[in-house]
Amino acid sequence: MSHMAEPSLDRTTVPALQRWKEEARRIVMTTAYDAVTARIADSVVDVILVGDSVGNVCLGFENTLPVSIAMMNHHLEAVARTGPRALLVADMPFLSFHLSPEETIRNAGGFLQRGADAVKLEGGAKRIEMVRALVDCEIPVMGHLGLTPQSVNVMGGFKVQGRKLDDASRLLEDAHRLQEAGCFALVLEGIPAELATRATETLTIPTIGIGAGPGCSGQVLVFHDVLSLTEGHRPKFVRAYLDGFQLLREALSRWATDVRSGTFPAAQESYRLPQEFADTIANWTPPSPT
């Protein structure tokens, strides 16, 4: 039976997520890239992802490929300083887990030293060696299959994956291989709902969907997408709960109007001198030029 209770104020852990899969309790995950968004999200969600999507959401890049470990460390540290109750997961950016197990361990270990509880990395069978190396070092790993943004050039764009039988079968096989390698959860992105449902049914670890239908163990969306904080095209799988961009721009516009009309700041936004000094300052004159 699904649990409808409010989120617990206890810290979310990796074993908790695995237990929730057994209890059919839905997992809620969103991104945070700074202290402000982390504080807003933390009392609401179960998992906070410091995603490499910071590249295209906040840093102006076209995709996630330019995001470096240094950039990820910067944003992870900002989120970690808030001491989140949610499980804090950090994305392994492009080239941070491709070259050798040693470098992969060093990069992921650096995330844990900066406050992450776990790391997430993209890819299937090709990444098994890296997943095992991390798990052997007691670093919890969340996998990511389907539309993997770091593979955008190979895929020819951000396109739904797994629509052909061979591709669907390979994804299911990769999901089970990642589970066997030690992943504690999988993100399934941009795949048909039936495929995500079958993966969820056959895995013992939880799945977290994004554009993968309602059959997953939980759902993740980018914070800025849920609140519609950015302009432009919105993917089919996003449901915006607020026109945040327009609301914030309207508020800022009202402030700008008040500044230009001279009505801001008013007395309530201003500091005052003690009365005994006020007359002296009011009558002060500049010294004569020397």
Q: Catalytic amino acids?
A: 189
Report yes or no: 121 and 95 within 8 Å, Cβ to Cβ.
no
Q: What is the DSSP letter of 12?
A: P
Closest CA to 181 of 140, 149, 218: 140
Q: What is the DSSP letter of 197?
A: H
- The rounded distance, in Å, linking the Cα atoms of 216 and 112 is 27
Report residue 284 as tokens: 């002060």
Residues 116-144: b if buried by 16+ CB within 10 A, e if exposed: bbbbbbbbbeebbebbebbeeeebbbbbb
Q: Where are the alpha helices (DSSP H) in the chain?
A: 14-23, 35-42, 54-57, 69-80, 101-113, 128-136, 152-155, 165-181, 193-202, 223-226, 244-261, 275-282
Closest CA to 110 of 98, 129, 97: 97
- The rounded distance, in Å, linking the Cα atoms of 228 and 165 is 35
Report yes or no: 221 and 242 within 8 Å, Cβ to Cβ.
no
The amino acid at residue 287 is: P
User: CA separation (Å) from 239 to 174, 222, 227?
Assistant: 29, 11, 9
